[in-house]
Chain A
């Protein structure tokens, strides 16, 4: 795979402004489970019932998620 070139990176702004969802996702990803550290809680579709998160740091997002999961 060829990464994005400097020219493509420089011209990304209009691409991002015109962002849209593409539909060509394989069905095999519907029930995907990502095997990382907290594997028992790592169902990809589980947001622990939380919404928002804009402006929060990565650590804050992870702490909130963890505490929401612990309350279950």
Chain B
């Protein structure tokens, strides 16, 4: 093996090791100081804050006698078709719903919208409309509400509720 080849292998291996170390937050400050040319990539690539949670839309009815029905899952994601990697227009609808969920979370933080202004925004109306039509109502339902549940983890999932709507007439 020539000296040039040894040098090339060494550089590539060193690059790989530094790249692996750069994925850990403990080493990032030190490596970033020498990464002015951005030749050390991070796993997030072009998305500095990628989504690491799944979103679930749930709905429940309030019946005429005041009883609350159990929460039901609103189907947001359709099963992936066989050739979905090639042609999957259904993904547009789930993308819109996912964007609406994200938008609601952002709007809640805005002072000029907040929790009281949310019901008149497009993302809220979109989710409300979709949920109301995707899940059949209880026979004596008079009102309904929706909630956004986030799950993280795989085996033992952690659930958090990031938004709970008020009740609306059926």
Contact = CB atoms under 8 A, between A and B. Distances in A.
A24 B53 contact: yes
A55 B159 CA distance: 27
Interface stretch (B1-9, B27-35, B98-106): B98-106
Contacts, number: 162
Contacts of B47: 26, 28
B125 A32 contact: no
Nearest to A69: B120
Chain B interface secondary structure, helix, strand, loop or mixed?
A: mixed
A28 B48 CA distance: 10
B102 A15 contact: no
Interface in A10-51: 10-13, 15-16, 18-22, 24-30, 32, 34-36, 41-48, 50-51
Given A3-B75, A4-B149, A45 B113 contact: yes
A60 B166 CA distance: 14
Nearest to A62: B125
- In this complex, the interface size class of chain A, counting residues with CB under 8 Å from chain B, is 35 or more
A57 B168 contact: yes
Given A47-B120, A57-B169, A22 B150 contact: yes
Contact of A30 (B50, B73, B106, B123): B106
28 contacts: A4-B58, A9-B58, A12-B58, A15-B159, A19-B162, A21-B108, A22-B53, A22-B105, A22-B160, A24-B49, A25-B49, A25-B102, A26-B102, A27-B48, A28-B47, A29-B99, A29-B106, A32-B103, A34-B96, A34-B100, A36-B122, A44-B123, A45-B106, A45-B110, A51-B116, A55-B166, A61-B119, A61-B125
B138 interface: no
